[in-house]
Structure formats: C-alpha cells, structure tokens
Structure 1
Amino acid sequence: MTVTTKTHVLPCIILFLFLSQPCFAQSPMNNVMGRSKQILNGKWQVITDWYNRGSADSYNDSSLNKNAFKEFRFDALTLNVPGDWNSQLPELKYYEGSVWYRKVVNFHKRGSKKAFLYFGGANYQADVYLNGKKIGGHEGGFTPFQFEVTSTIKEGNNDLIVRVNNQRRVDGIPAMAFDWWNYGGITRDVYLVQTTETYIDDYFIQLEKNSMNRIIGWVKLKGANRAGFVTVSIPELKTNRQFEVDENGQALIDIKGNFKLWSPERPKLYRVNIFSATDTIKDEIGFRSIQVKGTQIVLNGKPVFLKGISFHEEIPQRQGRAVDDADAKQLLTWAKELGCNFVRLAHYPQNEHTVRMAEAMGLMMWEEIPVWQGIAFNDNIILDKAKNMLSEMVERDKNRCGIIIWSLSNETEPSPDRNKVLTQMAAICRNLDSTRLVSSAFDHFNQEGNKITIDDELSKSLDVLAANKYMGWYAGWPSKPGEVLWESKFNKPLIMSEFGGEAVSGQHGPVDDKSVWGEEYQEQLYKDNIVMFNKIPFLAGVCPWIMADFRTPFRMNLKYQQGWNRKGLLSEKGEKKKAWYIIKDFYSTR
C-alpha cells in the first residue's frame, strides 16, 4: 500500500513500522565528559515534519548528488544543538511533533578503537540513523543514551540523521498533561566517543553507607580481554590501590582513607584516576555521608537543615532550555544568592552540567524522574519505562556526592497500585545505590480543621517525607498560621518540598487579597508559611516553588499569567519579588 503525491512516493508500511516499532539504546558509559571524544554540537540541518509523513528513506540525504530530487531535503534551515526548537524558531513555539536533524560527522579512527554516539538527552522519542542505517532509538527526554557504531561509521564523512518527536503520549512519562513547557529537540550535548577495544565502562566510587572513611565500590570493564587488574588512584591522598577483575569484568573496590568530607561549606572534590591495562578515566569525586536519624537528616554525622529552592531547566529571559555551563551558572548563582544549601532539580533529571556545577558550588541536590501526577500505575508498559528512567538517572549521577536524595515521583494519587509500584521502585533505587536517601513528593494529606496528618502508606518505603502544600493559595488557611498543626504517623524527617503562590512582578495590592496577584500577598504568604514551619518539630528542610517564573501552557490567565507560572521568587526577567527577601532572611538565620 502506498500514498502517492505528484513527485514523491511514501511507503506507508515503512512509515508505520518506523513510528511504532520499539527499539532501544544501549546503557551509556559513565563519565563521558572524561573520555576521548569529538563534540558534535553546533548547527545541525533540520526539516520540520509537520504531519509525521517522513521515513528514513524520505530524508536520506541527497546533497552529495546534485542531480537528485526529493521533496524532503535538508537544505538551509538549521538549529543549534544542544537546544530546543521552540525557542529558536517562532513558528515552532508551541510545536509538538517531529523534527529531523542532520549532521555530517568527519571521523578518523585512532588505532584499534571502538566508536560510540552519545546523546546527553533528546525530548522525547529519538530515532538515530548513520549512513542510511537505523542504529537505534531512545524514549525519555531527560536521560542519556548511546549506540556503538564501530561497524557502521566509516573513515571520512558520515551522514548522521536523528528524528526527534516531542508529542505528548498517554503512555509517556510524563503523560499527556504536565505543568511545564514541552521543549522538543536535541536538548543536550552530542559526542562521538572512541575507546580502546577493552575499556572502562562504568564505576561506582562513593563512601560506604554510614561510613566516613571507607569506599566500597566497583569498576566494570567491557571488551574481549577483561582479565587482569584495575588501579584506583587518589593522588592527593597518596592512594594507589590495585584490584583484580573477575570473570564478569568487574573489580570490587575497598579503600580506607582519611578523607576531607564534602559539605556545602567546604565542597571538597578529589581527583580520582582509574586505570586498566588499556584504558584510563579521570574524574572529580567528593565523599560525604548522608543518613536519617529519627526526624533529622544527618550530613557527615551532624544534623543539617535543607535550605532549598526548586527550579526548572529553563532560562526564563531566553524562554528556552538551559543547555550549557553558562546557563547552569546563572541558575545556581541565583540559588547561592538566595542562601541555599540545597536545590530540587524539578521535575526530571537535569543537565549534567548543572549537576556537576552544583556539586562544585556546595549545593546538595534532590533529583527525580518525571513520574508526575496522572501516571497509570496499572499499566506495565508505563512502569517499565519509569523503572528504566530511574535506572538511567542513577547510573549517570551515582558518583556525584552532591546528590543526597533520589525521588521517585511527584504528586501521585495514593492507591494500592501506586503504592505497590513505587515501593518496588524504591527497592530498585536502593539496589542501584544504597548510599543515598529515597523520597517522593506528596500532595494528599488527611486534614481535619487545623490539623494536617501525613498518613500516606508509601511513607513506609521512603527515607524522607516531602509535602507539596500551598497553604493560603489553592485553599485558605484553616486557622492562624501559627495554629496549624502538622502530624505524621512516621518517625521520619519532612521536607516542605513545595509551597508559595503567584505574583506578577511589579503588581501591587493588599496583603489579604490574592485576586490582584500582587507581590504583597505573595510576600505575606511566605511570612505566614514560615510561622507555620517553625511549629513543625520534624521539619528538616524547605524548598519554595519556585525560583523563577517559568513557561507553561497550563497557565492561561490572560491578564496575569499569559503562559507563565508566576510562583517564582524572581520574574521571567530575573527581577526579585518581595518574597525573595523573606526567604533570604529566613535562610540567613537557619
């Protein structure tokens, strides 16, 4: 069966298979930034596929044959990679669909090497073709993926084509409705990585749980000749230890040392070198202990109060995705100026530039996967995707000591299916990494009068409880803020993971009238919440929602929102609202 136009025949059966067949990328190697690589960022040629009519054959480039004719052809239109298409072309501001990207990759093989294409992230579904051959695909907009291309890539110029589709899906994560902008595109770095035939694929080098002087970890090799030893060196500590590789290519690491522990006040990172017979990897790694004791979060043996802020991976002034070190620095500098020692990377794993820079700046982190509100917990297909995203998040960032909390979900409605699934995911998370805390943000509570009780059964499977509660905004105060009582059925610490209200920067009005969206109401709302917080004996941290106004088609109040969520302490132009100073003063006293 075919669909015929005047000048082009499109095989529908190929198109159907292309759009519907699942294919999967390989698990990406650890620390791609520390490897021999060719950066493929920059201008990529693009074609917007408005009606999803294209196939790989449709877009197989014909530019080398000047006499060839195709309706679908890469020509003058380009987009920046990394970057989203919504902010680069006005006609794509709200676009949800497919865009085809093309890059000519000049490759020179260096000795007996393997070659890999590594993508830091592409939202949401990516299908990758090299020299006319499909090499794989990946689903999920916020985690890395790679393909080995040793047998496909050739010396000289290679034709790399990537189809990216950001259409919201019932079976996607997040699903059809989510409260942030659906930026599409190749939004993170792209690398061509070369390794030795047998190479260091992965490693985990962190302090043993509840220890402050012992590393229990591992190094894993891939390739044909994995026998032998690996060496882990920490030059500053004069540590140089050799460990035997087993038949599975894995060496178990056990190192004791007098470490200077990482903390927000002293974010100490050590140069760590890993050697095998054929490969070398270098990383900057910090060591710290994070625990829960009763209702306290304990860092390096001492209770710590998390002075936090949430932010999206967005530069509001540019109205686009944050993509590089400069963008990360802007967001994290705001957090430090506010007085934070903690950031919530909402609501998805953010760029590795942001994670590494936050760690170097002394910011503890909460990182989560986008299991957001209306997820069908009785659908095994969706659950497999969620578990895969969780694994990809942990695998990428497990050596970043600044991350202290893995979060499983945000604002999911309690149910037997949800509790069962998230309990399983908590176990998976701890199996992947037992050294950090596990949490999930709730927005369902038992409220009677002025008493709010945390009784969600999922709490049994979590280390830290987290509450999203917009007192005074979506619902009125049941009594004076100082008379609101929080209780918990669980002897665990609580983070107030979201609170606040909306205000338009420069808009003014009475402190008791939220209908005018004035800064004064938002300011008073923050004062009232702080009064309430001071009455919660098991409170271990607060994290206002949100650092800066952010774009979302959910928010369409034409007078005040205009496509922006206005809960930011900063405006979309970076202007400080009155509530900014309330939180800054609160943090200065904690």
Structure 2
Amino acid sequence: MSLKNIKVIIKIASLLVINILITHSTHAQWLVANVAGRHVQSLNGSWAVIVDPFDVGESNWKPIWKNQHATGAHDFYEYAFDDAINLQVPGDWNSQRNDLVYYEGTVWYKKDFNYEPKAGQRSFLCFGGANYITDVFCNGEKVGSHEGGFTPFQFEVTNKLHTGKNEVIVRVNNQRRVDGIPALNYDWWNYGGITRDVDLVSTPTQYIQDYFIQLKRNDTSHITGWVKLAGVSHPTQLTIHIPELNFKYTAQTNDSGKANISFTAHPKLWSPTNPKLYKVQITTDTDTISELIGFRTVSVKGTNILLNGKPIFLRGINIHEQIPQRAGRAYSETDANMLLTWAQQLGCNFVRLTHYPHNEHMVRMADKMGILLWEEIPLWQGIQFSNPVILAKANRLLDEMIERDKNRSAIILWSLSNETTPSESRDTTLRDMAAHARLMDPTRLITSAFNHVAYKGNTVTIDDSLSKVLDVVGVNEYIGWYTPWPAEPQNMVWKNPFNKPLIMSEFGGEALYGHHGSKDTVSSWSEEYQEQLYKNQVAMFQNIPFLVGTTPWVLADFRSPGRLQPVYQQGWNRKGLLSDKGYRKKAWYIMQQYYKQKENNQ
C-alpha cells in the first residue's frame, strides 16, 4: 500500500472518530417533530439563575447541578438558587440585566415544575435554542449536552421524572470559540441564555416521531416524502389524511418504523400571493398528529428561479433576530409578526434569515404570511475550516435546521455559509455540506453568500469557484461603502461565468437616523449618502440580466460590539433601512419604490 493511500485511510479514520465523539458528546437526537402539535407543558417563564463567571459550577467539590442544600450542622455549599436572581425564558440575559450586557460566560438556570407521569407515556425536554454550549440536568442527573446557539435540541426524560415536583437545571455558556460555529468574531451581538421556548412534550410509547411531506421537485401534483415512527419493532400501518382535499393515503412502515410515501394530489399551490396551507393529519393505532403544510415547487432553469414553474423575482431584505427597540433577541410570535410586517411594508416577498436559523415562530409566521425564506447556518467568516471537527459540526447544524423546517413551504433556499475565504479546506467542507443538504432535502435549492468578485474597469466578475456546486449564487457587494464605484452605476457590467441565478445577498451603507449631510461623501454617515447609494445600486441592478433577487443589508440597525465609531455607531451597525427605534430612513423609500416597480412588472 502506498504512503498516499495510508494517509487517506488515516484521514478518513480520524474523521470517523471525530464524528463519533461529536455525536455522543454533544448531539441531542432529533426525537420529536412539530413540538407545537403535541401534548405540551410549557416551561417558559421565570427561571432562577446563578451567574458563574469562572465556570466553577461543574467542579466535583461544588456541582451546582446537584442543587444541594445544607441540612445538618456541618453541611456547607457555596451556592444557592434560593435567593438567586431570576431571568425570563425565553430571552437573552444581556438585555434583561444591566450587569450582564457584555457578559460572556456561564449562567445556571433552574426551573421547578409539577408533573404526573402516566403508564404508556414518554416524555421529552425540548429546547428551541440556547447559546452556545448547553448542559441539561433533570432531577440531579445529566440528560445531555448541545453545541450551537440557533438550532433546537431535545432529550428524553421518561425515566428521570416522577410524580409531583420535578427540577430542571441548565448550564448555558456563550463564550466564543475558535472552533465554534460561528467562530470568535462576528458582526452581531453574542446574546447568551435560553433564548427560545422550552417545552416538556408527552407522547405515547409508540408515537409519530418525524415526517417529511412535500411536492416532488418540478411536479405540482405528486406528493412524496416519508413518515418515521418511534417505539415500533414490526411493520405498522399509518394513514395520511388531508380533509380539505378529501384525500386519504395508507402506508406501512418497515421494521425500523419508516414508511416512504408517494401519492398523486392536486392541491392549490402555495405562493406569496396565495399562501395556502392544508391541514395534514397523520394517524396510527396509538398516535395522531396534525400540521398546516403548504405545497409548492421551486427549481432553477438557466438563470431563473421558478416558483410553481414560473419565474419569480425575489424582493427581499436581510433580517437579524433582534428587536431593535428593546436591543434584545427576538423570540416570540409577536416579535416575528412585527419583523415580517416591516418586510411586507417595504414590498418584500422574500427574507434572508441572517446569519443563522431564526426561531421557529419566524418560519411558521412566514408560511402564513406568504414570505419566501433563505435560511442558513452561521458559518460566518473566520471559520477554522482546516479543523476536521468543523465539517461534522456544520453538517449537524444543517441536520437540525432542516429537520425542524423541512415541511415549511416558505423556505426555498438552504444556505451553507456567509463570506467565507476560499481555500482547499473551505472548498472541500462546503462541497461536502452541499451534498449532505441535498441528501437531507432534495426538494429545495442550495446557495451560499460569497463576497469574492473581480473588478476590472467597469466590469465585475463572480469568481468564487464554489458557485459551481450551488443552485443559486449569492453575492455580498458593498460598492459605494467599502469599495468606491469603479464606474458610473448605470455603466457597470456584471459577468457570471457559472450561468446561474444571482441574488444580490448584501449591499448598502451606514447612516444614523436623523443625521443629514452630503450625499456624495461616504464619511458623512448621513441619510442622504445612504439614499444616494441605494439609488446607485438600483441603477446598476437594471443592467444585470441574471439577477433574480436582492436583499439589502439590513432591515433595522442592530447591535454589534465591533462597531466602534463613537459618534455615529456607538456599538450599532447602522446599515438598517430602519433605525434602532424602527423609524424609516430615506433609503427605505428607494427600495420600496424599486420593489413596487418589480412587483408591477412581475
């Protein structure tokens, strides 16, 4: 055997070991789909907390997760939840307490709740998200860990609960990591805490674990997918019922509980102008679950994106998961409604959820409102692609994102990354991720946002070679802000050697709301300069024949510790079309007018 082959075998073995270690040490298994459709006991509300800046609470001599109390004359413990501060869950700790605004470290959460287990019932702790490393303990026993701040995770606690009072203790640490996703530096606030809903879900012993029910790609009358049952060891029958279509379909699982499904139906197609959702009910002898699902197709033909077989222009906006007025993480249905309503008022039919999967309320709200979505995992600049653990972590985050949202018709694009630097290790990682995403979900398109283009005179050429493995190319360009205009905007020429649809995934510049000045001076930080920049961008867009969508950066000003300009930024990225109070800047109206024209021409 050659030395080259030996090295390849060693590399593969190393990757397998890394995947095994990550799976067993951090990956919470996907146990329950559609939490909202189950029998749920919410654990949201006030949680007692202990702030642990030196992260000593897991040490053997004072493990906080045991929540021990002094009962005898010689008992002594240097912690207590009894007189602790409280934080609201869901919610970040940074916006709830002034002393935690910049805090990066460990906080311990505790919640007591009453419960009555029943025979023939299974119980699961389901977290919508917590940033970044989370360890979960139930009644004095560790049930699991999770890494990642923006995807859901779950643990079975059937054998950990008892009748009466029960206790959950959660350790959350939001310290940035060189081997994390995202890594050490990124352009948004590092909100820590249990930032999304926490639910205790009860199911039968044999239950409907997961399902994927969507139209087959490029076929508006053929529904395909699968249903997975848990707790079964022999073939089991199930029924899919869509009452409004007067349709029933019966299937039988294999021994492992999975049934592939395929049937003909003629649903009204979901679209931004008609966001039709159908009640889909799945039934077995022991369990029933229902969910609202829309049916639509999305595909690429040449340099066009086709929705339900017809070309569509994506009138978009980037949105961060933050409510600017309260300078905190968005987490509720009310928050989702406000952000998406702003997008619709701008004239959007499309939103890029940046730079991470947003909370599930956002995705489900978009389904109801008819807003198409780009959803991505936080591979944002500075990622340590040469570290082999990154691919395993990234694929796990892809799994968790797709597992949660695969039945949402609003999502048409899974995005792999944002502004990553080309290298052999990056290219290999993103190629593998693209293949993994397609294996997980063959019905949607794959994209990524790059900022590597070549300027020559008045010509801009898309030159990131990873574009060839994508269905749609996303380009972040800041001509007029970080890069001067190389020519008059209307004379700019874009070249696309990959012959694929282009979404201008980021563009814009900063302005402080209410600050006025020169429209020609970039350093003015004025609304007038931002307004003129957008006029120039729109002029350039008219000459890009393969442009199928635009998503300005960004809907609203958002907090970012790296923004250090003491007068105009003050820790905020000011590229929003809306201010940190939700007020419209002049540039808002330029995009609103552009989108109105595109809508009229659609």
TM-score normalised per structure 1: 0.95
AA paired with 2:158? T
Choose from 77, 84, 104 the match for 2:85.
77
Cα deviation, residue 564, structure 1? 0.2
Cα deviation, residue 474, structure 1? 0.4
Choose from 509, 521, 537 the match for 1:529.
537
Alignment match, 1:503: 511
Cα deviation, residue 226, structure 1? 4.8
Cα deviation, residue 110, structure 1? 3.0
User: In the aligned structure 2, how far is the partner of 1:296 from the partner of 1:270?
Assistant: 28
Residue 23 and residue 482 in structure 1: after superposition, are their counterparts in 2 closer, same or farther (change >3 A)? closer
What are the ranges of 5 or more consecutive residues in structure 1 without an aligned counterpart? Answer: 1-20
Cα deviation, residue 106, structure 1? 1.2
Alignment match, 2:235: 227
Choose from 55, 63, 68 the match for 1:58.
63
Structure 1 position 304 matched with structure 2 position 312: yes
Structure 1 position 285 matched with structure 2 position 288: no
Alignment match, 1:446: 454
Structure 1 position 32 matched with structure 2 position 35: yes
Alignment match, 1:203: 211
Alignment match, 1:5: none
Matched-pair contact (CA < 8 Å) for 1:288–1:401: yes
Alignment match, 1:491: 499
Matched-pair contact (CA < 8 Å) for 1:408–1:422: yes
Matched-pair contact (CA < 8 Å) for 2:232–2:255: no
CA RMSD in angstroms, aligned pairs only: 1.3
Alignment match, 1:565: 573
Q: Secondary structure at the match of 1:389?
A: helix
Q: How does 1:241-280 map to 2 (within 5 A)?
A: 241-280=249-288
User: In the aligned structure 2, how far is the partner of 1:72 from the partner of 1:308?
Assistant: 49
Matched-pair contact (CA < 8 Å) for 2:70–2:77: no
Q: Deviations over 1:70-97 (max 9, x none)?
A: 2211024100000000000000000000
User: In the aligned structure 2, how far is the partner of 1:440 from the partner of 1:76?
Assistant: 44
Alignment match, 1:343: 351
User: In the aligned structure 2, how far is the partner of 1:66 from the partner of 1:301?
Assistant: 74
User: In the aligned structure 1, how far is the partner of 2:29 from the partner of 2:114?
Assistant: 23
Matched-pair contact (CA < 8 Å) for 1:28–1:144: no
Q: How does 1:384-533 map to 2 (within 5 A)?
A: 384-533=392-541
User: In the aligned structure 1, how far is the partner of 2:514 from the partner of 2:351?
Assistant: 26
User: In the aligned structure 2, how far is the partner of 1:64 from the partner of 1:155?
Assistant: 24
Matched-pair contact (CA < 8 Å) for 2:304–2:312: yes
Alignment match, 1:15: none
Alignment match, 1:380: 388
Residue 23 and residue 304 in structure 1: after superposition, are their counterparts in 2 closer, same or farther (change >3 A)? closer
Structure 1 position 47 matched with structure 2 position 29: no
Q: Deviations over 1:88-144 (max 9, x none)?
A: 000000000000000012111133101111100000000011111111100000001
- Runs of 4+ aligned residues of structure 1 deviating over 4 Å after TM superposition are 63-69
Cα deviation, residue 62, structure 1? 3.7
Alignment match, 1:91: 99
AA paired with 1:105? F
What are the ranges of 5 or more consecutive residues in structure 2 without an aligned counterpart? Answer: 1-23
Using the TM superposition, name which of 348-357 and 408-417 deviates more.
408-417
Matched-pair contact (CA < 8 Å) for 2:50–2:84: no
Alignment match, 1:333: 341
User: In the aligned structure 2, how far is the partner of 1:527 from the partner of 1:370?
Assistant: 30
Choose from 517, 540, 546 the match for 2:554.
546
User: In the aligned structure 2, how far is the partner of 1:65 from the partner of 1:316?
Assistant: 47
User: In the aligned structure 2, how far is the partner of 1:71 from the partner of 1:586?
Assistant: 62
Q: Deviations over 1:166-188 (max 9, x none)?
A: 00000100000000000000000
Cα deviation, residue 66, structure 1? 9.4
Q: Deviations over 1:225-272 (max 9, x none)?
A: 453211000000001111011112111111211110000000000000
User: In the aligned structure 2, how far is the partner of 1:34 from the partner of 1:63?
Assistant: 38
Matched-pair contact (CA < 8 Å) for 2:233–2:256: no
Structure 1 position 371 matched with structure 2 position 374: no
AA paired with 1:58? P
Q: Secondary structure at the match of 2:427?
A: helix
User: In the aligned structure 1, how far is the partner of 2:98 from the partner of 2:395?
Assistant: 36
Q: Deviations over 1:415-458 (max 9, x none)?
A: 22211110110000000001000000010112112111112111
Cα deviation, residue 61, structure 1? 2.0
Using the TM superposition, name which of 60-69 and 293-302 deviates more.
60-69
User: In the aligned structure 2, how far is the partner of 1:174 from the partner of 1:216?
Assistant: 34
User: In the aligned structure 2, how far is the partner of 1:410 from the partner of 1:360?
Assistant: 27
Cα deviation, residue 492, structure 1? 0.6
User: In the aligned structure 2, how far is the partner of 1:224 from the partner of 1:400?
Assistant: 27
User: In the aligned structure 2, how far is the partner of 1:40 from the partner of 1:255?
Assistant: 39
The percent identity for this pair of structures is 57
Matched-pair contact (CA < 8 Å) for 1:468–1:499: yes
Matched-pair contact (CA < 8 Å) for 1:198–1:226: no
AA paired with 2:466? L
Residue 55 and residue 454 in structure 1: after superposition, are their counterparts in 2 closer, same or farther (change >3 A)? same
Residue 64 and residue 436 in structure 1: after superposition, are their counterparts in 2 closer, same or farther (change >3 A)? farther
AA paired with 1:25? A
Q: Secondary structure at the match of 2:237?
A: strand
Using the TM superposition, name which of 381-390 and 558-567 deviates more.
381-390
Matched-pair contact (CA < 8 Å) for 2:27–2:145: yes
User: In the aligned structure 2, how far is the partner of 1:351 from the partner of 1:313?
Assistant: 8
Using the TM superposition, name which of 263-272 and 150-159 deviates more.
150-159
Alignment match, 2:19: none
